[in-house]
Structure 1
Amino acid sequence: MSPTLNTVDIVVADMQAAIAFYARLGLAFTVDEAYPDHAGCDLPGGLHLMLDTEGFRAATQTEGRTRPSGDPRTFLAFRFDTPAAVDAKYAELTEAGHAGVQEPWDAFWGMRYATVTDPDGNGVDLYCPLAEQAAAE
């Protein structure tokens, strides 16, 4: 039997800042009453996204874990209905103080694409397929 990927866990420094960031992208996290340093959000298709504070993860792992540095190594990608929605969300997030990595552009692979980082420096892509948009018009 093959394993099933059904959960992604993001380690965060500030739970409330992370929840506020992802709320701007339409995600509603529920903080675990028994473990306030852990929150979860059920996504379409059966995927579950979790947030765990650095302290929570440190308590569940062997010693020696250090925070990654440098460019994001993992990206979450959020699909939008229109290129204008990508542009608007990028503007909203960067105006709220989140770092823009790539301003919106029409990528050579056929998508309107932009990238920001969440409060912990994780990459968050915003995109809309251009061909589907053109077909809908």
Structure 2
Amino acid sequence: MNFSSVRIITDDVDRLINFYEKVMDVSAERPAPVFAELVLPSCTLAIGHSQTVQLFGAGSAVAAENRTVIIEFRVHDVDAEYERLKPFVNEWVKEPTTMPWGNRAVLFRDPDGNLVNLFAPVTEEAIKRFSSRR
């Protein structure tokens, strides 16, 4: 089995695409007006309009209601990303901080309120833990 993607359901696809194109520094692929994918070598972030939910079964997902998932991206330099994204992020949850498990991280919310974490392993143990991962 291969992990393929995470999909965010939203009422405003264009707004989230614009936001995540800036965060991820890639252009979205738009196979349909109600759906987009932002593809990186290590993961794909899909964004679907709430209208697409009915294709999976009514009520299976509700836009902007997530309060349990954190979308995480490993970056080279957390502090540099924080500075780069300051003009685009409206809600910072945690400024750059080194966490007890050895990652430097910054946490913010996307326009729909989903949590986004940018992190980099910085301690010897954390670097070792991530050394075999892409």
TM class, shorter-length: 0.7 to 0.9
Structure 1 residue 49 corresponds to structure 2 residue 45: yes
Corresponding position of 1:37: 34
Q: CA RMSD in A?
A: 2.5
Percentage of pairs with the same residue: 27
The unaligned stretches of length 5 or more in structure 2 are 128-134
The unaligned stretches of length 5 or more in structure 1 are none
Q: Where does 1:1-137 land on structure 2 (aligned, <5 Å)? A: 3-24=1-22, 25-32=24-31, 35-45=32-42, 47-58=43-54, 60-63=56-59, 66-67=62-63, 69=65, 72-82=67-77, 86-131=78-123
SS of the residue corresponding to residue 44 of structure 1 reads coil
Amino acid at match of 2:40: L
For residue 76 of structure 1, report the CA deviation from its aligned partner. 1.4
Is this contact kept in 2: 1:90–1:116, CA < 8 A?
A: no
For residue 94 of structure 1, report the CA deviation from its aligned partner. 4.1
* Structure 1 residues 106 and 53: CA distance shift in structure 2, 3 A: same
Amino acid at match of 2:27: A
- How many residue pairs were aligned? 124
